Amino acid sequence: MASIARRCVDEKLVASALDVLVHSVGAAPGSTNIVCVLRRLCRELGRRINATMEIPSHFKNLVDRFHLLLEESSAIQSNLTSPTPLVLFLDGLDLLEKVHDAPSLNWLPERVPPNVLIVVSVRDDSAGQKSLFQHLDCTARISVDPLDSLDRAEVVRQTLAMHAKCLDESPFNNQMKIIVSKRESNLPLYLSLACEEVRVFGLFEKVTQKLNSLPHTLTQLLSESLSRIESDNGTRLVATSLSLLLCSRDGLEENELTALLTLDRVLNGSYRTVDDVRNVCHDPETTIPSITILRLIRSLETFLRPLETTSFESRVLRLDQLHVRNAVQHRYLKGPNAIDENALHLLLAGYYYTVADCYWDGCWSGKNQKAFSELPYHLASAACYGELANVLCDLSFIQARCMLGLSVATLHDFDLPVLSSAWDQRSRTKLVSDQRFVDYQNFVSRNLHVLASCPVLTLQQALNEPSSSYPSADARKLLEEKKMAATGLVEWMNKSEEPDSCVRTVDDLPEVVTCLALSPDGTFLAVALRDCTVKLYEMISPAIIKELKMFCGHSGHVDALCFVSKSRLCSASADGTLSLWSIDGGQRISVLKGHSRNVSSCASDPSGSVIVSVGWDFAIKLWNGLTGAAQGNLANDRRPINCVAFHPEGQMIVTGDWDCTLKLWDVFHKSRKGILRGHRSSVRDVAFSPSGRHIASAALDGEVKIWSATHGSSVGVISGHSLPINRLAFSPSGQELVTASDDSKVKVWSGNIGRALNRIGNEKLGPVMCVALDATGEFVAAGYHEGFVRVFAASSGHLVWEKTYFQDPISVVCIKYKLVEETDFTTEVTTTSSDALLVGMANGCVLMLNGWTGDLRCTVSAHRSSVMALDVSRSAASGFVVTGGEDFTAKLFEYSELQRKSKVAESSHTLESHSAPVTCCALNRDETKLATGSRDMIIVLWNLKTPSHVTVERVLCGCHSDWITCCAWSNTADFLVTGSNDFNLKLWDLTSASMTSAPEKVKFTGHMSAITSVAYQYGCIVSSCNDGTVKVWSHKGAEITTLYAHAQRVNACVVHFDIQQEPAEKTENSDWATMADEEDWKTKHEELKVTKKDVKVERVVLASCSDDGTVRLWLPIESSELSCLVGHSGKVTALATGHDGLICSAGLDHTMKLWKATEMSPSVGHESGVTAAICSQDGSTIVTTGRDGTMRVWSRQVSSTASTCSGVPQLIMNVKVGNKSVSCAQFVGSSNLVLSGSDDGYIILWDLSFGKFSQAKRLASLLTSGPVSSLAVMSSDNPTVFNVFVTHLSSVVSLATVKNLGTKDPDIAITALLKGHSDWCMASATATVGGRAVVLTGGADSCVFSWQANSFDKDVAQTKGVKPSNAPVRALVYESSEETLTWMTSIAAFEDLVYCGDSVGNLISLKFDCSTGTYEVLSQKLIHAGRLTCIVCVDNLIFTGSSDRTVKVWNTNLVQVGQFLCKAPVTCLALTENVPIIPNRHRLICGNSLGEVLFLAWIY
CB 809 within 8 A of CB 787: yes
Pairwise CA distance, residues 1112 & 759, whole Å: 5
Show Cβ contacts of residue 596 under 8 Å, excluding neighbours closer than 6 positions: 576, 615, 617, 619
Cα distances from 1024 to residues 37, 693, 769, 816, 1009, in angstroms, run 69, 20, 13, 17, 9
Pairwise CA distance, residues 560 & 644, whole Å: 10
DSSP letter (8 states) at residue 1065: G
Length of the chain: 1500
Query: Which of these, 42, 40, 39, lies nearest to 68 by C-alpha position?
Result: 42
Strand order in the sheet with 620-624: 599-604, 610-615, 620-624, 630-634
Pairwise CA distance, residues 102 & 28, whole Å: 17
Pairwise CA distance, residues 395 & 1348, whole Å: 53
Pairwise CA distance, residues 655 & 207, whole Å: 81
Element (H, E) at 1422: strand 1414-1422
Ordered DSSP codes for 490-513: EEETT--SSPPSEEEEE---SS-E
Which regions in the chain score pLDDT beneath 50? 310-312, 825, 827, 1063-1092, 1198-1206, 1351-1366
Residue 943 burial class via C-beta count within 10 angstroms: exposed 0-12, middle 13-18, buried 19 and up: middle
Pairwise CA distance, residues 1446 & 1444, whole Å: 6
In angstroms, how far is the first alpha carbon of the chain from the final one? 65
To the nearest 10°, the Cα dihedral for 332, 336, 342, 347?
-60
Pairwise CA distance, residues 620 & 602, whole Å: 10
Given CA atoms 543, 547, 553, 557 in this order, what sign does their dihedral have? positive
Instruction: Report pLDDT for 1163.
Output: 66
Query: Which of these, 816, 808, 812, 815, lies nearest to 784 by C-alpha position?
Result: 812
Instruction: Report pLDDT for 186.
Output: 86
Pairwise CA distance, residues 104 & 94, whole Å: 8
Other CB atoms within a 10 A radius of the CB of residue 636 amount to 11
3-state SS, residue 1050: strand
Strand order in the sheet with 502-506: 502-506, 1152-1156, 1142-1147, 1132-1137
- Residue 3 amino acid letter: S
Pairwise CA distance, residues 1412 & 708, whole Å: 77
Show Cβ contacts of residue 371 under 8 Å, excluding neighbours closer than 6 positions: 352, 353, 355, 356
Instruction: Report pLDDT for 904.
Output: 54
Pairwise CA distance, residues 75 & 114, whole Å: 8
Query: Which of these, 82, 81, 13, 87, lies nearest to 48 by C-alpha position?
Result: 87
Q: Do strands 1456-1461 and 1466-1471 pair parallel, antiparallel, or not at all (unpaired)?
A: unpaired
CB 1263 within 8 A of CB 1238: no
Instruction: Report pLDDT for 1063.
Output: 46
Given CA atoms 515, 520, 525, 526 in this order, what sign does their dihedral have? negative
Pairwise CA distance, residues 550 & 62, whole Å: 13
Instruction: Report pLDDT for 982.
Output: 94
Show Cβ contacts of residue 1388 under 8 Å, excluding neighbours closer than 6 positions: 1325, 1394, 1395, 1431, 1432, 1433, 1438
Radius of gyration of the chain (CA): 41
Query: Which of these, 1450, 1296, 1476, lies nearest to 1388 by C-alpha position?
Result: 1450
Distance of CA 990 to the CA centre of its chain: 52
Pairwise CA distance, residues 1185 & 1236, whole Å: 8
Partners of 912 in the β-ladder? 889
Instruction: Report pLDDT for 134.
Output: 60
Q: Torsions phi, psi of 560, nearest 5?
A: -155, 150
Residue 435 burial class via C-beta count within 10 angstroms: exposed 0-12, middle 13-18, buried 19 and up: exposed
Other CB atoms within a 10 A radius of the CB of residue 1349 amount to 18
Instruction: Report pLDDT for 995.
Output: 58
Distance of CA 57 to the CA centre of its chain: 29
How many helices (H) and strands (E) would you count in the chain? 27, 94
Angle, vertex CA 1376, rays to CA 1372 and CA 1382, nearest 5: 120
Pairwise CA distance, residues 638 & 659, whole Å: 8
The full 3-state SS of 374-427, as one line of letters, equals: HHHHHHHHCCCHHHHHHHHCCHHHHHHHHHCCCHHHHHHHCCCCCCCCHHHHHH
